[in-house]
């Protein structure tokens, strides 16, 4: 195993020798680093765009000795994937990053760091497939979970056991957009020798960097805002500890969840415009959330950018933005169905983070894995609708919502 890891670590360092442009990038403004993601990787021909190394294998150098080849097999390492991982490591400020075939692949690999008898505290009402992974797959394998309102540190403390090995947070939560106090929970985890894992998909490094706030691991469904165009599936894990990265590298190699070169390139390309897209979708989200507050068909609006949202202050203290997701409850079930069925511009689809605005029904789509009575208790009911705001004209989006809701 030691020889295998040594060779993988060589590949993680990158195929090309570091150049001065790449070294200088760490001192640039975040917007500049995003716009130039991957630039400077091609020392052979100077391509401005990171090349796609669409190959399964690499020819070995001679003589064949351990560590002599940076790459040998794409499941283990690929220069295009390394370029994406290097960018994410820089953006998050971690010891390393690994790119996976999906966000769920990244989360599943992270949970494989734990073992029989361990206990995980997780955000209640989190994404349905994450819930299903914890409750339906890991629970029978002996890794137990407790789901609590992680916006309350007292609730986290009350759920703690002598076998608690990790706290898993969605910041903000999906779809009600509650935010945990990451520094406070990080301090608690540090005191009690547990890992803090943050799913930061909704905010991205443009708004929040959980490792700088004390988290140990940050995960992304990079299919969403990072890739940003609804044309690829990918996931990323970044850790503050090189030892955790070594463990995850070994897990990825054995379980086969490594991202393909082409999908790595698409994700890297999307990151270049992340700053612009995040600023536009957040501007649209705040306008739409404010407009929904006064709509007669709407009972309640969930968006942490609104000053009276319960998580506004805690998120404002640790993030530079509030994201592009807005959810709302209608006064009747018929009102929710009207919103879902009657939009003309907004697409009915299960995702977020692309340029297009999407409308989703958590009750049956994203959170169907959670038992109905638990969904009701959490407020994920049949009147709840989630919007993933894109970058279109906000006036057009509001007009579409207005006609769909019967305004």
pLDDT digits (tens, 9 = 90+) for 128-170: 899 999 999 999 999 999 999 999 999 999 999 999 999 999 9
d(CA 129, CA 131): 5
The CATH code of domain 274-405 reads 3.90.1150.10
Q: How many residues does the chain have?
A: 407
Record the tokens describing residue 240, joined without a space: 């503050």
Closest CA to 393 of 357, 341, 340: 357
Residue 7: pLDDT above 80? Answer: no
Please name the residue that has the structure tokens 């609590």. Answer: 148
Average pLDDT, the chain: 91
Given a cut of 70, whether residue 12 has pLDDT beyond it is no
224 is catalytic: yes
Q: Is 56 exposed, middle or buried (0-12, 13-18, 19+ CB in 10 A)?
A: exposed
* Mean predicted confidence (pLDDT) in 301-307: 97
Worst-scoring range by mean pLDDT, 256-270, 287-301, 364-378?
A: 364-378
Which residues, other chains included, contact 359 with Cβ-Cβ below 8 Å and sequence gap of 6+?
Answer: 339, 340, 343, 346, 347, 348, 349, 385, 386, 387, 388
For range 213-224, the mean pLDDT: 98
pLDDT > 60? residue 15 = no
Q: What pLDDT score does 304 carry?
A: 97
Weakest-pLDDT range from 50-64, 72-86, 317-331 = 50-64
- Residue whose structure tokens are 């975040």: 30
pLDDT at 198 over 70: yes
Mean pLDDT on 324-340: 95
Annotated active-site residue in 224, 272, 277, 383: 224
Quickly state the pLDDT bin for 255 (edges 50, 70, 90).
Answer: very high
Structure confidence at residue 287 (pLDDT): 98
The whole-number pLDDT of residue 269 equals: 96
pLDDT at 61: 77
How is the chain split into domains, by residue range? 2-271, 274-405
pLDDT classification of 6: cutoffs 50, 70, 90: low
Q: Is residue 278 pLDDT above 60, yes or no?
A: yes
Peptide bond preceding 172 in cis form (omega within 30 of 0):
yes
Residues 6+ apart with CB under 8 A from 24: none
Q: Is a pLDDT exceeding 60 seen at residue 183?
A: yes
Q: Which of 181, 199, 263, 400 is catalytic?
A: 199
The b-or-e profile of 26-40 (16+ CB within 10 A means b, else e) is: eeeeeeebbbbbbbb
Catalytic site residue from 53, 71, 127, 225: 127
Percent with pLDDT over 70 in the chain: 92
Give the least confident one: 43-47, 99-103, 287-291.
43-47
Q: For 392-405, what is the mean pLDDT?
A: 97
How confident is the model at residue 364, as a pLDDT? Answer: 83
Residue 81's pLDDT is 97
pLDDT value for 10: 47
Question: Are 164 and 315 in contact, with CB atoms under 8 Å apart?
Answer: no
Decide if pLDDT at 335 tops 70: yes
pLDDT for position 378: 80
Q: Using the structure block, give the residue that is written with the tokens 């919103």.
A: 339
Q: Tell whether the model's pLDDT for residue 205 goes beyond 80.
A: yes
Q: Structure pTM?
A: 0.91
Active site residue 127: yes
Spell out the CATH class of 2-271.
Answer: alpha beta
Q: Give the integer Cα–Cα distance in Å for 405 and 385.
A: 12
Evaluate if residue 249 carries a pLDDT over 50: yes
Q: Among residues 42, 69, 73, 75, which one is catalytic?
A: 75
Q: Is 45 exposed, middle or buried, given 0-12, 13-18 or 19+ CB atoms closer than 10 A?
A: exposed
Given a cut of 50, whether residue 13 has pLDDT beyond it is no
Which residues is 96 bridged to in the sheet?
239
């Amino acid at each position: 195993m030691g020889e295998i890891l040594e060779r993988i670590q060589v590949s993680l360092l990158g195929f090309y020798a570091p150049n001065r442009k790449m070294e200088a990038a760490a001192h640039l403004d975040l917007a500049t680093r995003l716009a130039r993601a991957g630039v400077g990787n091609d020392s052979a021909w100077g391509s401005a765009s990171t090349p796609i190394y669409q190959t399964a294998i690499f020819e070995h150098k001679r003589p064949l000795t351990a560590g002599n080849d940076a790459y040998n097999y794409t499941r283990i390492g690929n220069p295009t994937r390394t370029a994406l991982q290097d960018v994410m490591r820089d953006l998050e400020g971690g010891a390393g990053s690994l790119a996976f075939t999906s966000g769920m692949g990244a989360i599943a690999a992270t949970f494989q760091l734990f073992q029989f008898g361990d206990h995980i505290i997780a955000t209640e009402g989190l994404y349905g497939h994450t819930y299903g992974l914890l409750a339906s797959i890991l629970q029978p394998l002996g890794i137990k979970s407790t789901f609590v309102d992680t916006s309350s540190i007292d609730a986290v403390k009350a759920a703690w056991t002598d076998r608690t090995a990790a706290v898993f947070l969605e910041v903000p939560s999906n779809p009600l957009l509650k935010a945990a106090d990451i520094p406070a929970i990080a301090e608690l985890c540090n005191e009690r020798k547990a890992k803090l894992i943050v799913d930061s998909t909704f905010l991205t490094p443009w708004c929040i960097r959980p490792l700088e706030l004390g988290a140990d691991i940050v995960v992304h469904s990079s299919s969403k805002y990072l890739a940003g165009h609804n044309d690829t599936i990918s996931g990323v894990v970044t850790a503050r500890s090189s030892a955790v990265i070594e463990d995850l590298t070994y897990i990825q190699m054995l379980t086969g969840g490594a991202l393909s070169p082409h999908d790595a390139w698409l994700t890297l390309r999307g990151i270049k415009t992340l700053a612009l897209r995040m600023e536009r979708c957040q501007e649209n989200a705040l306008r739409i959330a404010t407009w929904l507050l006064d709509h007669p068909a709407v009972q309640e609006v969930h968006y942490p950018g609104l000053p009276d949202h319960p998580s506004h202050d805690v998120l404002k203290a640790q993030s530079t933005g509030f994201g592009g997701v807005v959810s709302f409850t209608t006064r009747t079930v018929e009102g929710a169905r009207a919103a879902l069925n009657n939009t003309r511009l907004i697409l009915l689809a299960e995702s977020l983070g692309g340029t297009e605005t999407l409308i989703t029904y958590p009750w049956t789509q994203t959170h169907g894995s959670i038992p109905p009575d638990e969904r009701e208790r959490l407020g994920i009911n049949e009147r709840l609708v989630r919007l993933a705001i894109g970058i279109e004209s906000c006036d057009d989006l509001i007009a579409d919502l207005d006609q769909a809701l019967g305004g």
